[in-house]
A and B are shown apart, each in its own frame.
Chain A
Amino acid sequence: MSLAIPNGLDNTAERPGERAPLVLGDATYNSITEAVCRIAETPPSRGWLIGFFIASHLAGMFGLCVAYLIYTGVGVWGNRAPIFWGWPIVNFVFWVGIGHAGTLISAILYLFRQEWRTSINRAAEAMTIFAVVCAGSFPGIHVGRAWLAYWLAPYPSLNLWMWPQFRSPLLWDVFAVSTYATVSLLFWYMGMVPDLATFRDRSKNPFRRAAYGILSLGWSGSSRHWMRYEKAYALLAAFAAPLVLSVHTIVSFDFAVSQVPGWHTTIFPPYFVAGAIFSGFAMVITLMVPCRKIFSLEKLITIRHLENMCKVILATGLIVGLAYGTEFFIAWYGQVPEEKFAFINRAFGPYWWAYWTMITCNVISPNLFWVKKFRTTPWIMLIVSIFVNIGMWFERFVITITSLSRDYLPSAWAYFSPTWVDWAMLVGSFGLFFTLFLLFCRLMPVVNMAETKATLAKELHMAHANHG
């Protein structure tokens, strides 16, 4: 079982013609099972407990803020004319963007046969779902009377046969985000079933065994089942890949179909998608760097995995930078006075600080990853990825707030100031996100064991072929 794979943890060098291993150490199938199951089977570490304590309190704060908001009304936010889309929408777009990496890693990288996805896709998918939960809560409460949010659904209201307005981009959003959440959940859960079966089979406690037994649906690992399962996985990946693109495209439509200067530009769909991938991968790095350390998963989530993600961040960061530039150029080339003003105002108007924060974090900071040293050193990537997250939040801030605060009607111009509820909700949504993620780490298989074993099997096969 032991194989001819180097034991060192640096697998970032690769000679063309040979593929560097993605599972390190003297790995066996059993050692993968052990490494992953141990996380859920041993009592939580002190680090986890402290993290959970903080995160769950912040999540509680989020809940209280929502309750306060619903009870009092949306006036507790800083949203004022003409900036009716304040922080809630900024946060919504930010979280939806974060929620793109998971399904992207799972679906698109799967379709492109990128095997380095195997040990990070599970956590990334989980992250996706939790990010979408955070994202979905904002428009839900932004509608004002949150208890009437069901009016968005097509049902014959009040016997008047009033239907939703399908020509509105906001309704497309409802369908896009809910479809995305549903399909991501199915994809995530389906991928987890074989690993839940592993959990079930290792459980000594009958209640635990029953719980994981129900969740794993009686999975036995039959080859006939695997065959259909793999087909279903490939199909879901093929559906999810365009779905990922469509979701942020439709989010970009929310802005771009309007005529607000700075919003109405045709590059928005691909540029939003690139930005979403950018921020999503950054969040995966932010989570995985501490995670692999805390749970000792360095041999499964290797530096090579992280380096590849850094490269994706670099590439998408440059695409985003190119899009910023194109927007600026076309605003000048088009010679529409309002557009020209909107872009100059972004960079040199009252929100110049937000704009330059965005440029620094999104366009400049990822360029550190040109240097191999930086994209193979975990703590540096952690810092850069946090900068990218900040930058992407500011991007949405810049788009939403600067354009609305300076629209066609100069007499209505205003400066946006967030209230304490805005701040608490932004911080609280992170609390919710981390609470869910920490729970996931404890209760579910953090790494896709079945796929990682398949990768290992392939590497074993290659090693035999090369040496035998």
Chain B
Amino acid sequence: MGHHQAVERKPANDPAFALPQAVSKLTLPLLAGGLVVLLVGVIIGCMAVDTRFGMSAYLTALIYCTTLSIGSLFFVLVQHLTRAGWSVVVRRIAELMMVMILPLAVLYLPILVAAYQGTLYAWSIEGWAEGHGVPAAIWAEKERYLSPGWFTLRSLIYLGIWSGLAMWYYRNSQRQDETGEITLTERMQARSGPAIILFAFCTSFAAFDWVMSLAPMWFSTMFGVYLFTGSILSAHCVLALASFLLQRAGAMRDEVTVEHYHDLGKLIFGFICFWGYIAFSQYMLIWYGNIPEETHWFYVRSSGVWSTLGVVLMVFHWGVPFAGTMSRHVRRKPWLVATWATYILIIHFVDLYWVIMPEAGFGAGAAAGLAASILCLVGMLAMMVGGLFRLASGVRIMAVRDPRLGESLAFENI
């Protein structure tokens, strides 16, 4: 039964599985150009406003790229954990993305330096607590956690764990490309459970340390989940968009079918809802409880230009894409899925901007501030994409000998 014809399997060395020439030659321009743009962005930020603003813009861009990368890592882990078959054709893209956490880890150096110099995190600024009326006893406890040395160590732990996981899965998947060993899949499957525990721990605490501690006195237990949700949502968007662009450029034309876009579209739709759910729950509980210790974070974000941005997020991070990706007809058109994915990737940046930048204390930083933020993002993103192309040039962009490839090729939605 079933009249769906599975896509025919191509030999492992088919050119459809290599990064198209037109794409791979962009590597160097992207890397070099990205670096320049990033530097210009940071400098404008530091000059036009102040160092803290420049560093915040840099952090926003860095966290943005990190969420894409670790979201992809989570995608890969979950596919192994659930023994998923449908996703094999797009999994390699996620595997390449997750390895980007290694170069991104290097870019965390300036953040660590800033933590020592007191140019980014309020808690590292001399005299901040006294200036803001924080009782000394409480601050003494806080400082036991929020100290530059301890912060650096923790950052290294998170980055180390992510990098280790990413590299291990990447290497095994690459090895399977050559040998086709089924035991590799079994081994990756077996380790995916503990790996996800480590991942969840790191993601939650990294969100507390890198982002939540920008407002040192504020706390929300759900904050890690909030950033994670944006991360996994945007990772799915990256997959859809990258598959679409690669197919346009001539790679894996037959393998990634409408069915895969449909499924990615469903997941994107689901995570849009999930983001709305988490964002709403966090806001709701703090709004309703109305305790000063918590509300100040939302108070800052509901005054001035930030309140507009908050409404923008509600409407354009949830409302519009929710309605837009609800229909099956939309999800079954690859170009529409790719369009919505691009849209989400943009609005995800707005989300992070709204979370991070108000703590820099300068409103939106006027035109120069905005320019600095955007340049930082563009530069960092270009560097990451350049690195991605560099990595992908030497390898296949699909897991060609995965034992479940056949299932993925024959995949059909309910």
Contact = CB atoms under 8 A, between A and B. Distances in A.
User: Is chain B in direct contact with chain A in the complex (CB below 8 A)?
Assistant: yes
B220 A17 contact: no
A264 B208 contact: no
Give the secondary structure class of B's interface: helix
Given A268-B285, A330-B219, A16 B1 contact: no
Given A16-B185, A334-B219, A258 B289 contact: yes
Given A14-B83, A326-B224, A318 B273 contact: no
Give the secondary structure class of A's interface: helix
B201 A245 contact: no
Contact of A257 (B86, B189, B284): B284
A245 B280 CA distance: 13
Interface residues of A, number: 43
B133 interface: no
A19 B222 CA distance: 37
Interface string B397-414: 000000110110000001
B222 A267 contact: yes
Contact of B285 (A253, A315, A323, A333): A253
B297 to A, nearest CB: 11
Contact of B208 (A111, A270, A327, A333): A333
Contacts of B204: 322, 326
B291 A457 contact: no
A234 interface: yes
Interface in B1-41: 1-2
Contacts of A327: 221
B142 A335 contact: yes
A270 B222 contact: yes
A419 interface: no
B141 interface: yes
Given A270-B225, A330-B221, A334-B219, A16 B285 contact: no
A333 B293 CA distance: 12
Contacts of A19: 407
Contacts of B82: 112
Contact of B291 (A17, A259, A318): A259
Interface string A258-276: 1100001111111000000
B278 interface: yes
Contact of B221 (A112, A267, A318): A267
Nearest to B145: A333
A359 interface: no
With a 10 A CB-CB cut-off, give which of A14, A267, A315, A457 has the most chain B CB atoms: A267
Contacts of B277: 242, 245, 249, 269
Interface of A: 14-17, 19, 111-113, 169, 234, 242, 245, 249, 253, 256-259, 264-270, 314-315, 318-319, 322-323, 326-327, 330, 332-336, 370, 457-458, 461
Q: Which 6 A-B pairs have the closest CB atoms?
A: A17-B403, A267-B221, A266-B222, A334-B219, A257-B288, A16-B185
